[in-house]
Every structure is written in C-alpha cells, then in structure tokens.
Amino acid sequence: MRRSKRSSLFVVAIGLAFSGLLLGCQPKMVDVTPQLTQSDFVQARELIHQKRIKNPQDEAYMLEQMRLGILTLAHGDAQSAQTVFSGVYEQIRTQGLNRDKAFEAVVLNEDLKFWKGEPFEQALALVYYTLDLAALGQWDNARAAADNALFQLGDFDEDDSQSPETAGGAPPTAASDQQAGYATDTSGFTLGYLLKGLASQQLRRDNEANDFFNAAVESDPSLRPICDSLRRNKYNHVLIVSYGLGPKKVGRGADQSELAFESRTASGDQPLMVRLDQRRNTAFPVVCDINQMAQEHNWNNLQGLRRDKSALGTGLLAGSAAVLAHDQQSKKKRGKKHDKSDSDEAKIVAASMAVVGMILKAGAHIDTRYCDVLPQRVYLVPINITNKRTTVELAIAGKAHSRLVLAGLSPPTDGRPRLRYVRLMHAGDAASRPAGWATSGRIYYSNDITGPIDGPHLPYILGGQCVRRPSHETLRSYQQSGYLQDVSLTELEQLYRAEGILFDTQDQNGFAGKHVLEGGRSFVLPDAGTSGFARLLGQEHPPYAPQSQALKDFLAKHAQQLSLAR
Amino acid sequence: MNACRFRADWVAAAAACFVVLSCTPQRTTRMTADDLDVMSQALANSLAASEAVVNRTPDSPLWVITINKVQNLSSDVMTESEQWSVMARIRSSLPIQELWRQKNIRFVIPAQRLHALQNSSQSPSTATAGSRRQPTHEMSATFRSVTRAQARKRTDLYYCEFHLVGLNTSERVWSDKFEYKRAAAGHVWD
C-alpha cells in the first residue's frame, strides 16, 4: 500500500477513534429508569447506593450523591440523607468548580466537566437539603439552606463590571441587611420562599417569615390560603409531598447541540386532597412545577459555542468532500499528465479536514446528564394533628394510583413541628389501584417510633412481629407474653449481634442500609409519616431467615415455645 | 558576586511563586475551622479580660456557666457538631481554663447534652448525673452574615455575637462580637 494512502487511512482511523471516544465519554452511572418508571424508589435507591461513584474527583460524583440523597429522603431516613447532602452542599458552594476544565469543555465536549447541574437543579438540591435539615429539627440550618436555594436562582449579571447587588437583586445596603438580618429576593421561587418563611417562623423571626410568605403570595396568589394558614402557626406537622418525574434533559438540532427539556410527567394543577382520620378532605395547590422551573432557570452559556462547533464541523466535512471531488476532476482533465503527488496531498488534506470536522461535530452535543430522580411537582401541607396514631390520607385529585395513607402520626412531644417529605407513586393511569401497603393505613409491627401493637410480643428474628431495639422494657413485654422466660437481655442482644444486625446509622458509616424486614441488616426505621415507613410497616413481610448458627441453635432449643407465635 | 546575585534572583523568584501559589483565589465563602479557632481564641481572651471577670478572685462567689450551642442565623449551614465545637473551643482555651483556678468560675456540661446522655445510656447511674449542676450563668452565641454577589464573585461577611447572662438576674455581664470576611472567585453556577 502506498505511503500516502496509508497516511490518509491512519489519519482517518485516529479521527474515528477520537470521535468515538468523545461520543462515548458519558460517565457510567447506574441507570434506574425502569425502577423510576414503576415508582420503585426503594430499588432505585438500592441500586444507586450499591453501584455509586465513590471518588469525589469523578465528574459525576455530585450527580450521583444528589440522586442518592433525594431517594434516601423519600425513604424517610433523614439522618442518612444528611451524610449525603452535606457533600452536595459543599460542591454547590464551591465556585468555579470547572474553571480548570474550561479548555476541555470548549475544545472537546461538555461531558468532561464536573456535573453541578443547571441552576434549577442546584436550587432543588439545596431545597432537598433544607427539607432534610428541617426533618432533623435543625431549623436554623434549614433556614440557611433555603437561603442558598433562593440565592442559586438569582439573576446574576455576567458583566462583573456592574455594581454588586445582594443575592436576587434586593436593594443593597450593608446597614439595612445587617439590621434586618436577611434580604429577600425576586427569583419567583415560591417553594424557596415558603421554606425560608417556615424556618424563620420556627426561629421566632416573625417579621422575616411574613416577608417571605408575602413574597410567595406575590409570586403565586393561589398560595394565599396556605400562607395564611402558616402565618396563624396552628400546625404541628408540615408534609412536603411530591409526585411524578421531573423533565429529561435532551439535545436537539444539529449534532444535538441545542438544549431542551422534555416532560416525563405532564404538568397539571390538580390539587392534593388531604384527609385526617377519615374526616373531610382539604385541597392544597401545587407550589412548585419543576417542568416550568427547568424552562426558566437553565444556564445555556455554551449554546453559541456548540452551534459554531457543529456548523464548523459540518463545513469541514463538506470541505473535505469538495477537496476530493476537485482532485478527481483534476485527474480526469489532465489524464496521464496528472501529478500523483498532488493527488496524495489532496487526500491527506481531505482526511485531515474530515477528522477535525468529525471531532468538532462529536464534541458539539450538550451534556445530557441530569438529575433523573427529581419529581415533577411539589405540594406543601401544614396540618395540625391532635390525636395519637392519626392516619393521614393523601391523593391527587383524579389520580387514584397516587393515593397514600400515612399511619402512626402523633402530636410532637417537644412542642416543635415535624416536617416530613413524602413521595407519591406515579406509575399507572387514572384507573390504576395503588399498592396494598400504600393504602392499608395499618402498622403490622411493634416499633420504636409508634410503640407496641396489640397482641403477644416476640422479636421478628424469632418469628414474631416486633422490630423494637432490645431493651429491658421490650424483654419484659416478651416475657409478659409468655416467651423468653429463661433469656437475659445480654443473651438476646447477642443473638442480634450474631446476625450482624446494626441498630444505629453511625454503626453503618452514616448511611443506614436495607431494613431487616426487607432482608437487610439494619434496624434503623424511616420516620413516621413518610412513604418509607408506610411501605415497611404497612404490610406483612416474609418470616425472618436466620443467618448465624447461634440463632439457629436458639430457635431449635426453644422450638416448642416459639412455634406458638407462628 | 554575579553568582550571589544570580542565586538571590532565583530565591526571590521562588519566593514570589510561593506567594502567588499560596494566594490563589478562594472558591468558597464557607466558614472554615481556622476561622472558628481564631474567633474562639479572641473571644476567650475578651471574656478573661472583661470587667465582670478581671476583678474576681479565687474566693469570689462561684460562677457555674452552662453553654448553649451556637444559633446559626448566617447563610452558611453549620452542622450541629460545628455549633457545639465553637463553644467547646472557647471552653477549652487556656485563658478560660485559668478562670477555674484564679477566678472561681466553672463551665458545666450543657443541659441538652446532659439529657441526651441520660436518654441514650441505659445505666441507672446516668439518671442522676449532673444533679448538682446548678448553673448561675448561661453563655450563648449567634452567627449572622451578609452576602454580596455577582456572577463570578461572592463575599460573605460573618459576625458572631457572644453573651454571658446571669440566670437569676437576667443581667448581661459580658458580650462581645467578632467579624470576618470570606471572598470567593469563580462562577456561582459552574
């Protein structure tokens, strides 16, 4: 083969390989689309946790953490979610994270950047951190996180020569901000306003709370009844209820260089119907439509550059074809007088142009990474629970499959309101029936949150219906039920230890695993008033399968006594 | 002579590089552990030198000071352990430890911590722990901040106020505040 032809082929091969590398440069995150489509948030969380990216230097690390944090909070485990969200918060508060990746992003493609999300995704990450901190009772920190969520949607002017303003464009005077201790903004992010107002109210900063409630009403007048209810401060529980799947980020146009968001769950203004202990229904409006947020708050700073790369790449490919065509024409015209070295040169030039064109086109696509676990809409529900073990029924009007019954909610004993995040099921159509556990309204197991259920008491690992932590009190209740008369607390604890069961989040590196009821080794329960709690305790689970020889021997020794429980 | 000047030039260039490298712009305006350390030391010195404390002797009436964790009204999230650690730093600083011996002042475990200890421990002895705490004063602190931001610059001014209040009289016997500023460069969304 002639050297010139080999050179051309070599150049083309390198170009194809490089283009292929650019196209296939998307980091490998676990795909949980099937689980999300079926509203199987538990399995989605498990998969992400098992296969999560552990290296903080990985470009997709923050995205993976955000997905895990949101699903963990949906599960009802605020403690574990805090471990995750604190890292996400650190990343969002770091400015110019991709400063050192600017060259690669511009010349090659945007997938090489650290994922930090669109502004609306950053704001929602901080909203979830707000919810997590509020669920833990840290209202001062929740206020700070909500403040940051509003900040991320500020109208930042790219021209730094302009005079500085406070976040969100409020009239800036250092003295007035110091005096008031806060600054309101004009982002129109109603959910952010409501959460900031809620947190301020818990800190007894009523003027600040009122200002943010007013901002929410100004942004969306349909929220006036909710804000009036919050202002009266007659609630002891706040449910943040979400539904559906947020929009998908796609590339459109030539070489997928145009940013677009496609709805996965259609927007709608159907209210959330809430009923306490089967009393009358109350309707609550949507406070946040994430489909709409995605359209209004994205940062398309490289749009022009991507278009130019695509156009230039197309031009170079066309030019390459033109060079070859011109060379062919020359050959025909000159016949035997045609200089072959000219032809070789033309081939190399054409190949080089084609390679550069392919590389530019391959790198012109947008970064399509997005947070796929965000919901489509959010509701905010302040309620006052006066009776112990109240059931709260939630359903979106016209969507029977979304119905969820939360059991075991009681008035807080410390006088401070509880905030809970609830994720409704979205899989199915208007006629679909929700899963059994979602609507049972029952608690099938004695537990440390709602206490013992009626009937004889025996640990789940011994064939019973109790998942309370072993203690003198629980052992007494087992013995009063006629079981474990000759067993001490130490012996009982040893059985749990032999099974590898862990009682605290700290013992599990700050992230509680699957519960024992679902085949895991954790005894950490989701908070009451969450879909995770309903799913775990609102249905019967298969009997426990002993793992250790110690437990098997114990069960054999006490077979007659324990068979009564089964 | 030329060799000496050459070496001096290189040393100066290396020093300049070191200064430049160590002065790379910050990328976050979050509070750091060093900020809290410096602040705690300054406030401990202020308390030890305050009018309320400086004239006390080992025979002065016993002061038992309980501390609350910091109240965070700033724009930065402070974890609970960070909030407690600010107070713990002040309490464990040398000027404050001297107060024990020279001024008859004691710091005791905060009530919240005591209740958490009693609730988490199953030992009967912890039920009566701290029964003779009987605090006479309470120390508290509040963090606030003000933010200025453009697309590529952000500045946060933090200021923290500390108070020491007599529990019987509700009289403020000492207060002070500490300010520091954090600036960061880089696009807020990037």
> Is pLDDT above 80 for A502?
yes
Residue B38 pLDDT: 86
Q: Does A166 touch chain B (CB under 8 A)?
A: yes
Say whether residue B190 is in contact with chain A using an 8 A CB cutoff. Answer: yes
The pLDDT-based confidence of A163 (bands split at 50, 70, 90) is very low
Residues of A in contact with B151 (CB under 8 A): 156-160
- Contacting residues of B for A154, CB less than 8 Å apart: 149, 188
Select the more confidently predicted residue: A466 or B123.
A466
Cross-chain residue pair B80–A151, CB shorter than 8 Å: no
Contacts of B72 in chain A (CB under 8 A): 140-141, 144
CB contact under 8 A, A86 and B79: yes
Which pLDDT score, from 0 to 100, does residue A170 have?
A: 35
Does A342 touch chain B if contact means CB atoms closer than 8 Å?
A: no
Burial A497-520 (b: 16+ CB within 10 A, else e): ebbebbbebeebeebbbbbbbeeb
For residue A161, name the pLDDT band (cuts at 50, 70, 90): very low
Average pLDDT (A513-519) is 94
- With an 8 Å Cβ cutoff, is B181 touching chain A? no
Q: Looking at per-residue confidence, does A103 or B39 come out higher?
A: B39
pLDDT at A480: 94
Q: Do A119 and B189 touch (CB under 8 A)?
A: yes
Q: Does pLDDT of B10 surpass 70?
A: no
Q: Which residue of A has its CA nearest to B187?
A: A96
- Whether A551 has a pLDDT exceeding 80, the answer reads yes
- The C-alpha atoms of residue A69 and residue A53 are separated, in whole angstroms, by 13
* A122-139 residue pLDDT tens: 999 999 999 999 999 999
Q: Which residues pair with B142 in a beta bridge?
A: B71, B161
Chain A nearest-CA residue for B142: A140
Distance CA A451, CA B80 (A): 28
Q: Between B79, B151, B155, which is nearest A160 by CB?
A: B151
pLDDT digit string, tens, across residues A204-255: 999 999 999 999 999 999 999 999 999 999 999 999 999 999 999 999 988 8
Q: Which two tokens stand for residue A203?
A: 């800190």
Select from B28, B77, B147 the Cβ nearest to the Cβ of A95.
B28
The band of A162, judged by pLDDT with boundaries at 50, 70 and 90, is: very low
Lowest mean pLDDT among A97-106, A205-214, A413-422, B46-55: A97-106
Q: Band of the pLDDT at A160, cuts 50, 70, 90?
A: very low
Instruction: Inspect the interface and report whether the beta carbons of A156 and B144 lie closer than 8 Å.
Output: no
**Residue A395 in this model has a pLDDT that exceeds 90:** yes
Digit-coded pLDDT (tens) for A2-25: 555 566 666 556 656 565 555 555
Nearest CA in chain A to B186: A96
Residue A112 has pLDDT above 70, yes or no: yes
According to the model, what pLDDT value does residue A278 have? 81
Residue A181 to residue B73, Cβ atoms within 8 A: yes
Question: pLDDT class for A168, splitting at 50, 70, 90?
Answer: very low
How many CA atoms are closer than 13 Å to the CA of A115, on its beta-carbon side? 26
Q: Chain B closest CA to A96's CA: distance in Å?
A: 4
Option in A95, A165, A177 nearest B187 (CB): A95
Asked if B94 has any chain A CB less than 8 Å from its own CB, the reply is no
Query: Is the confidence at residue A411, as pLDDT, over 60?
Result: yes
Section A283-298 average pLDDT:
92
pLDDT of residue A305: 79
Round to whole Å and give the CA distance between A438 and A531.
8
CB atoms within 10 A of CB A383: 19
Residue A461 confidence (pLDDT): 96
B168, pLDDT greater than 70: yes
Mean pLDDT over A470-490 rounds to 94
CA distance A455 to A440: 19
B21 pLDDT band, cuts 50/70/90, is: very low
Alpha-carbon torsion A383, A388, A389, A390, what sign?
A: negative
**Which is more confidently placed, A522 or B189?**
A522
pTM for the whole structure:
0.87
Choose between B23 and B155: higher pLDDT.
B155
Angular region, B94: left φ>0, alpha ψ -120 to 50, beta rest: alpha
Query: How far off is chain A from B28, nearest CA to CA, in Å?
Result: 5
**B 12-51 residues inside an 8 A Cβ radius of A:** 27-30
Q: Which of A40-44, A102-106, B125-129 has the least mean pLDDT?
A: B125-129
Nearest CA to A472 out of A493, A454, A486 is that of A493
Q: Do A140 and B148 touch (CB under 8 A)?
A: no
Q: Return the pLDDT at A28.
A: 66
* pLDDT mean over B88-102: 80
Q: How many CB atoms lie within 10 A of CB A274?
A: 19
The pLDDT of residue A222: 94
Between chains, do A145 and B77 touch, taking CB under 8 Å as contact? yes
Band (pLDDT 50/70/90 cuts) for residue A173 is very low
Q: Which of A302-316, A368-382, A456-470, B1-15 has the lowest mean pLDDT?
A: B1-15
Cβ separation A174–B144 shorter than 8 A = no
Question: Residue length, chain A?
Answer: 566
* pLDDT of A563: 75
Q: A178 to chain B: which residues are within 8 Å by CB?
A: 144, 146
Among the ranges given (A23-27, A68-72, A232-236, A364-368), the one the predictor scored with the smallest mean pLDDT = A23-27
Q: Are A247 and A261 in contact (CB under 8 A)?
A: yes
Stretch B105-131: mean pLDDT, rounded? Answer: 65
B79 touches chain A (CB under 8 A): yes
Average pLDDT, chain A: 86
Phi and psi at residue A257, to the nearest 5°: -90, -10
Asked if B148 and A156 come within 8 Å (Cβ–Cβ), the reply is: no
B23–chain A nearest CA distance, Å: 16
CA distance A84 to chain B (A): 13
**Residue B157 contacts A where some CB pair is shorter than 8 Å:** yes
Cα–Cα distance list, A271 to A268, A275, A422 (Å): 9, 13, 15
Share of chain A above pLDDT 70, in %: 86
Nearest CA to CA, how far is B119 from chain A (Å)?
13
Q: Report how far residue A27's alpha carbon sits from residue A478's, in angstroms, rounded to the nearest whole number.
A: 52
* Residue in B76, B78, B185 nearest the CB of A95: B185
